[in-house]
A = this chain, B = another copy of it.
Amino acid sequence: MGRNAIVGQSGGPTSVINASLAGVLQACQKRGCEHIYGMRHGIQGLLEGKYIDLGETCGSTLEIELLKRTPSSYLGSCRYKLPTYIENPEVYAKLFEILDKLDIGYFFYIGGNDSMDTIMKLSDYAKAINSPIRFMGVPKTIDNDLMGTDHTPGYGSAAKYVATVMKELCRDAAVYGTKYVTIVEIMGRNAGWLTAAAALARGEDCEGVDLICLPEVPFHLDRFIQKIEALQKDHPSIVIAVSEGIKTPDGRYVAELANDNLAVDSFGHKSLSGTARFLCQYVQEHLQTKTRAIELSTLQRCAAHITSRTDITEAYQVGGAAAVAAFDGKTGMMASLKRVSNDPYQCVTELVDVHQCANHEKKIPMEWINNYRNGMTNEFLEYARPLIQAELTPIYIEGLPRHIYIKD
């Protein structure tokens, strides 16, 4: 049984993925691991022999606190789809050779759907060859679309950022008192969780957004125009949150209406952007109003200067829970979050079989979307609001939030 641990980060970064890294690291340290290695750029980097010893780069408690406040993946990430054993047995042989050389007993992978697929394949393979190495998944994604967990670490902070920015944009958009349509494009390919967070902006001190367009709901251009026209009879400044992944009833991305040749990544995902820009142009062609397209783009997944403390804490907890479970002999599991109650908000970690989460996507339940299909119900607000509570103040040095990074 290997004495050391290794941890990697994969997929799109979040503001809190490093808090999960801190959780894995500290739990392994406390359980007496001599070396806790970090894969550089996930499993892809590891296959090229790239790794570091985390005890050497993040050893102090100050470094751990900086890690919790540093956006993006400290170790670097990859978008690498692990082939099946049948497709490519050599990759498995090579990987396990590296793990044996490093005397690894515990393997952690922090990521989303695709990363859980990696953990599933590796733990299945380990069982088949009777390897004692334990493979555990740690969830992360701003998209909140992972099965097997009440919500994903990363979502709460991104949702807090979205809601905060929508409040600020509501103030800015109303400033001239003239007809204005602000369309804000938010990440979410097939699940609208992050776009839905725009609903949190409404409150005693904010009118809130007027329309929320989710990928779960077919998007009708004509109804969109009619709705804006009707809304502007009541108030001139209309603020709209649209998911990058909205589709027309015939299944085409709205982003494709603007650009027929969207780029495609290594997972076959189309690069979606330009949805808000296209819609603004369309609105201007049909209505007498100014428009403004805003893409939250990468900003929404790396805004570590405004995170949810609840989210940071839970990200740390699932990292720690995965490590504890691995030391208890578990493998092929994901440490997940189970909500005990909404009010008062209580949430604990549990373990789920990674086969239940890999390659599935969790969408917003239709009963959490209002009857007009253009806003959220109270059930959604009760679900989401606890996740954005409390703050982890950045460590400001000379006026800017301090980070920690690996100098190559």
Residues of A within 8 A of B (CB): 13, 40-41, 45, 66, 70-73, 76-79, 160, 163-165, 167-169, 171-177, 182, 200-201, 203, 205-206, 235, 292, 294-295, 297-299, 301-306, 308, 385, 388-391, 393, 396, 398-405, 408
The complex places the Cα of A308 from the Cα of B401 at a distance, in Å, of: 12
The complex places the Cα of A1 from the Cα of B302 at a distance, in Å, of: 55
CB <8 Å contact, A72 and B405: no
**Nearest Cβ on chain B to A42's Cβ, whole angstroms:** 9
Chain B residues whose C-beta falls within 8 Å of the C-beta of A399 in the assembled complex: 160, 163, 200, 308, 385, 388-390
Known contacts A71-B171, A175-B77; decide if A298 and B308 are in contact (CB<8 Å): no
**Nearest Cβ on chain B to A64's Cβ, whole angstroms:** 15
Chain B residues whose C-beta falls within 8 Å of the C-beta of A305 in the assembled complex: 164, 168, 306
Offer 6 A-B interface pairs, CB within 8 angstroms, sorted by A.
A76-B175, A163-B400, A164-B401, A172-B301, A390-B396, A390-B399
CB <8 Å contact, B294 and A294: no
Known contacts A45-B177, A299-B165, A403-B206; decide if A13 and B172 are in contact (CB<8 Å): yes
Partner of A400, one of B177, B200, B302: B200
The complex places the Cα of A41 from the Cα of B385 at a distance, in Å, of: 34
Chain B residues whose C-beta falls within 8 Å of the C-beta of A200 in the assembled complex: 399-400
The complex places the Cα of A78 from the Cα of B301 at a distance, in Å, of: 34
CB <8 Å contact, B398 and A177: no
Output the residue of A174, A176, A292, A404 with the most chain B CB within 10 A: A176
Chain B residues whose C-beta falls within 8 Å of the C-beta of A206 in the assembled complex: 403, 405
Known contacts A391-B396, A404-B205; decide if A76 and B177 are in contact (CB<8 Å): yes
Q: A203-B398, A294-B297 are in contact. List 20 more A-B contacts (CB 8 A).
A: A13-B175, A72-B168, A76-B175, A76-B176, A78-B176, A163-B399, A163-B400, A164-B305, A165-B299, A168-B304, A169-B299, A171-B403, A172-B298, A200-B400, A201-B400, A205-B402, A205-B405, A294-B295, A299-B299, A389-B399
Known contacts A396-B391, A398-B389; decide if A205 and B172 are in contact (CB<8 Å): no
Known contacts A164-B400, A200-B400, A304-B168; decide if A177 and B41 are in contact (CB<8 Å): yes
**Nearest Cβ on chain B to A14's Cβ, whole angstroms:** 10
